[in-house]
Structures are given as C-alpha cells and as structure tokens.
Amino acid sequence: MFYSEKIIITLTNLLLITSVWSQNTLTGAFTSLANEQIKLIGYKGLKSYAVDSAQANEKGEFTLYYSEDDHGMGYLSAERDKPFFCNP
C-alpha cells in the first residue's frame, strides 16, 4: 500500500469518527423529576417522534443528545407525561 493511500484511509476514518461524535447535547436539572425517565420529543412536519431519552439522577440532572437533523421545536416529556417545551 502506498503512503498516500494510507493517508487517505486514515483521514477517511477520522472523518467518520468525528461525524459520529458530532452530536449536540441538552443538559438540565428538574429536581421534581428526580429518578424519572425524560424524553426529548421532536417534530417532522405534524408528526412527533422520540429524539432521545435518559434517566434523571437523584438530583434530577440529565443529558439528552440530538443530531443536526433534529432542528426546530421540541419538548421534554417525563414519565408522568408532563411536557416541558423548549426551542433550542
């Protein structure tokens, strides 16, 4: 394998790895939702879909992830189906 082919393969691998890690994060803390499952719900047109979900810790802290494709309005939903609206 030639030196230039090795460089191209290495750069391609680095590009793939960084694209996987290029997610956006939403972190928060709702003390009233401690130890509950929290979902980030998004919209595509008029249809809603679950973007991500996470279990809040004992302090109500959580982290949710979304991609560049998930843009626009969304809301957070807890186990009690209590919505918290957000517009990133």
Q: Is the pLDDT of residue 38 over 70?
A: yes
* Chain position carrying tokens 């008029």: 46
Beta strands 37-44 and 83-86 are unpaired
Residue 2 has pLDDT above 70, yes or no: no
Alpha helices in 1-88 (DSSP H): 3-20
Burial degree of 75 (CB within 10 A; 0-12, 13-18, 19+): middle
pLDDT band at 71 (very low <50, low <70, confident <90, very high): confident
Domains annotated for the chain, with CATH where assigned, are 23-86 (2.60.40)
% of the chain exceeding 70 in pLDDT? 66
**Can you give the pTM of this predicted structure?**
0.66
What is the distance between the terminal CA atoms of the chain, rounded to a whole angstrom? 47
Query: Residue 79: is its pLDDT beyond 90?
Result: no
pLDDT higher than 80, residue 54: yes
Tokens of 68: 């560049």
